[in-house]
Chain A
Amino acid sequence: MTNRLPIIKTHKLFIGGKFPRTESGRSVKITDAAGNTIAHTCHGSRKDLRNAVEAAAKAQPGWASATAYLRGQILYRLAEMMEGKRRELRAAVELQEGIEAQRHQGSKSEVDASIDRVIHYAGWTDKYPQVLGCANPVAGPYHNFTTPEPVGVVGIVCPDDAPLLALVSLVAPVVCAGNSCIVLASETNPIPACILAEAIATSDMPAGVINILTGFRDELTPHFANHREIAAIHAAGVTAEQRKTLDLGAAENLKRVTVRDAIDWFDDNTCESPNWIEPFVEYKTIWHPSSA
């Protein structure tokens, strides 16, 4: 009896709620530690990034104007879908042996920690404006208050370690605040990101709010930095050179650039905080006279 020939999946990009192939026609072979081909992923291009930004820009106002309650419920729904794909995600995360030790902390697997992180930020949607905003006691007859608003379209560059947990930790605070994003997944193991895309597509997350590209940081980082419709960057795992490139994006259109260094992605005290939402909001201060 012959062994069944497995289907080797080609994971596609996730743009505007759809799964297109890269317009560049390039693909990347993903192998396990033994060198066996497990899957193929798209080698995303500048054009793919531009398409993703377009989708993100289109989706962002609607996502921002959704009620905080609804955004929270949708993020919770995403966690539910991830829970359903728990085994698949776990297999994807553990595809490449050797760095497995980093994928667990205590008894909590990377997948479980990722789901719990989404749950954490699902609960922030209707609370961070209270924690980050305030009323200002100005010296005069005015109502004056400051509220955080989403900055807009955010570019997210993921590190290679913790391919699922780092991604979720970078994306959740951005999205919970009403931003949309374009994510460049881990270079060495983008498969958990591709499976996450399938979970997002079947959650109630509006198309275009989260877009996921696979490809190479060196190639795509400059295009993230230069794109004028990207208002902010959330990155980790970048080289000093790539960091400088991203910073130069600030000179292009005053992008707000946040780069995370040496993060323990399993550490809730580090990764779960309104201070991770804060770089992706703009403060609006409103004055109104108060007199009869």
Chain B
Amino acid sequence: MMNPHTPTLSSPHHLDFATSLTQWEYAPAPESVRPEIAERYGLFINGQFVEPQGSDRARSASEEPAYFPSINPATESTICEVAQGSAADVDAAVQAAREAFPAWAALPAKERGKYLYRIARRIQERARELAVLETIDGGKPIRESRDIDIPLAAAHFFYHAGWADKLRFAFPGSRAGETPAPLGVCGQIIPWNFPLLMAAWKLAPALACGNTCVLKPAETTPLTVLRLAEICQEVGLPKGVVNIVTGDGRTGEALVNHPDVNKIAFTGSTAVGKKIATTAAGTGKRLTLELGGKSPNIIFEDASLDQAVEGIIEGIYFNQGHVCCAGSRLFVQESVLDETIAKLKVRMASLRVGDPLDKNTDIGAINSRTQLNTIKHYIDEGRAEGAELHESTTSVLPDAGYWCRPSFFTGVQPSHTIAREEIFGPVLAVLSFRTPEEAITRANNTPYGLAAGVWTDKGSKIFEVASKLKAGIVWLNTFNKFDPTSPFGGFKESGFGREGGLHGLRGYVRC
């Protein structure tokens, strides 16, 4: 996903190969498709787009507006307006889901599966439109939304479609003919880093198992999920099976608090995850939480260093570093530290920051001003605590929009804030180690346990280290790979439950 691209030579003098790669200029290669976007979007409840409640009633001046703008983070311009779902809207959505549940759960499983196959197909057919929309709404490079987010979202629906009529074979102890029962109404809250993909991760297994859903997309990235609501209409999905309620944290809170929700699935920060766990305590609501991370990426001296450097780049700069499993703590064996840093500098300098709709862009816009401020705060903190910042200055940043150059810190102590806390941006903390034992101990010395990477060409060593890392996903000689068949989720304070694969189904059935 971060492969170097053949540069387009814009004028003959660039044929001087003595010039470094990074000085070459690329001709702009903007994506030409412009998806139709309405001025304003309502909520998707009971199979229809509806106005948020209260917007057509008399509202006192102190009340919040019923719509809020969705901003393009690359231009800071308003794309459209989106409804702010209230507690009453959430209630209507939960009611619709509750009413739809018995019939949906009772539908012959094969038929249920066929709806999911249809959704998968429509995502594939509308892939380009969805990719462009994802990039406009969230700021991620078109290359990533086109090659990763949208195809994987379709793949998730396709994979889970096939499970619908095979659930009785999924878990030990199920007797032939006995299908594990669905839970009921699922409240699902997703983040802004992979909007459509996260919706697919949540909806596909829930629906395949016979549940109905109320999904709340993130405040800054609701548009592709609303388009998915259109797709649900297109494929004739029974009304109320999927409901989409847009809004900010208050909308999510209303969903978590709703007494008629049987299960909460949340992806987001550990702080909010703990708050949700507090709210759900004693209610009997089922919970799966995919939370934060500070994942180690460990480079041994006997690794293929060039490949490892590609892995470091993929690990931390993919999707602007807005990745819960980002390889944000780099541990390099001391003997190859200088060489790795030198290679990393060169490779980082080749990354192009800029217009997310340009097909040559590697790093797009930071998702929101709030997130940009958070990242800047951490960069300041890193410097203040004495670490040394190395920043790529290759790209000329646009005037408008939220941008952050890729960077890494050296001279990082394990106690530094940037080595402990999730930054969720293109900022890497580089640390070193001497022995495998030291690498393992330091890698595990975190409350998080989402992912880890290990790079060495020695097979026995790689499996020994992999077995000792406390992480839900361990990438060996690779990083940031995802697949619908592969369970995703963390140890410790990175949450509980898995999403994807056979193990992801457990979160949506009684077994």
Q: Which residues of A contact B (CB under 8 A)?
A: 131-132, 134, 136-140, 142, 144, 146, 151, 231, 240-241, 243-244, 247-248, 250-254, 256, 273-275, 278, 282-289
Using Cβ atoms and an 8 Å threshold, which residues of chain B touch A243?
A: 282
User: Whole-angstrom distance from the CB of A231 to the nearest CB of chain B?
Assistant: 7
- Alpha-carbon distance between A138 and B172 when the two chains are bound, in angstroms: 23
Q: Is the CB of A254 within 8 A of B281?
A: no
Q: In B433-485, which residues have CB < 8 Å from any A CB?
A: 447, 449, 462, 466, 471-478, 481, 483, 485
Q: Is the CB of A144 within 8 A of B483?
A: yes
Identify B282's interface contact among A137, A240, A287, CB under 8 A: A240
Q: Does B491 contact A (CB under 8 A)?
A: yes
Chain B facing A: main interface SS = mixed
Q: Does B69 contact A (CB under 8 A)?
A: no
Q: Is the CB of A254 within 8 A of B291?
A: yes
- Alpha-carbon distance between A139 and B484 when the two chains are bound, in angstroms: 9
Q: Does B277 contact A (CB under 8 A)?
A: yes
User: Whole-angstrom distance from the CB of A249 to the nearest CB of chain B?
Assistant: 9
- Alpha-carbon distance between A243 and B155 when the two chains are bound, in angstroms: 39
Q: Does B171 contact A (CB under 8 A)?
A: yes
Q: Which of under 10, 10 to 19, 20 to 34, or 35 or more describes the interface residues of B? A: 35 or more
Q: Which residue of B lies closest to A225 (CB)?
A: B281
* Contact status of A254 and B274, CB under 8 A, knowing A139-B483, A285-B487: yes
Using Cβ atoms and an 8 Å threshold, which residues of chain B touch A131?
A: 172
Using Cβ atoms and an 8 Å threshold, which residues of chain A touch B493?
A: 253-254
CB 8 Å contact bits of B351-372 with A (1 = contact, 0 = none) = 0000000000000000000000
Q: Which residues of B contact A (CB under 8 A)?
A: 155, 171-173, 270, 273-275, 277-278, 280-282, 287, 289, 291, 447, 449, 462, 466, 471-478, 481, 483, 485-489, 491-496, 498, 501-503, 506, 511
**Contacts between chains A and B (CB distance < 8 A), count:** 118
- Alpha-carbon distance between A248 and B485 when the two chains are bound, in angstroms: 32
Using Cβ atoms and an 8 Å threshold, which residues of chain A touch B287?
A: 250
Q: Is the CB of B491 within 8 A of A288?
A: no
- Alpha-carbon distance between A125 and B127 when the two chains are bound, in angstroms: 46
Q: Is the CB of A287 within 8 A of B277?
A: no
Using Cβ atoms and an 8 Å threshold, which residues of chain B touch A283?
A: 472, 487, 489, 498, 503
User: Whole-angstrom distance from the CB of B161 to the nearest CB of chain A?
Assistant: 15
Q: Is the CB of B274 within 8 A of A288?
A: no
- Alpha-carbon distance between A278 and B503 when the two chains are bound, in angstroms: 11
4 more contacts with CB within 8 A, not counting A250-B287, A273-B173, A275-B511, are A134-B501, A136-B502, A284-B471, A285-B501
* Contact status of A146 and B487, CB under 8 A, knowing A134-B502, A251-B278: yes
User: Whole-angstrom distance from the CB of B181 to the nearest CB of chain A?
Assistant: 14
Using Cβ atoms and an 8 Å threshold, which residues of chain A touch B498?
A: 283
Using Cβ atoms and an 8 Å threshold, which residues of chain B touch A252?
A: 274
Q: Is the CB of A253 within 8 A of B447?
A: yes
- Alpha-carbon distance between A289 and B172 when the two chains are bound, in angstroms: 30
Using Cβ atoms and an 8 Å threshold, which residues of chain B touch A139?
A: 155, 483, 485
Q: Is the CB of B474 within 8 A of A146?
A: no
Using Cβ atoms and an 8 Å threshold, which residues of chain B touch A287?
A: 473-476, 478, 481, 486
Q: Is the CB of A137 within 8 A of B472?
A: no
Name, among B171, B471, B483, B489, the residue most crowded by chain A CB atoms within 10 Å (CB to CB): B483
Q: Is the CB of A140 within 8 A of B280?
A: no
Q: Is the CB of A250 within 8 A of B477?
A: no
User: Whole-angstrom distance from the CB of B261 to the nearest CB of chain A?
Assistant: 16
What are 15 pairs between A and B in contact, CB < 8 Å?
A: A136-B486, A139-B155, A142-B478, A247-B281, A250-B287, A254-B277, A254-B289, A275-B511, A283-B503, A284-B473, A285-B474, A285-B487, A286-B474, A287-B474, A289-B478
- Alpha-carbon distance between A151 and B489 when the two chains are bound, in angstroms: 14
User: Whole-angstrom distance from the CB of B113 to the nearest CB of chain A?
Assistant: 18
Using Cβ atoms and an 8 Å threshold, which residues of chain A touch B502?
A: 134, 136, 146
- Alpha-carbon distance between A240 and B282 when the two chains are bound, in angstroms: 7
User: Whole-angstrom distance from the CB of B437 to the nearest CB of chain A?
Assistant: 13
Q: Is the CB of B281 within 8 A of A285?
A: no
Identify B487's interface contact among A136, A140, A142, A253, CB under 8 A: A136
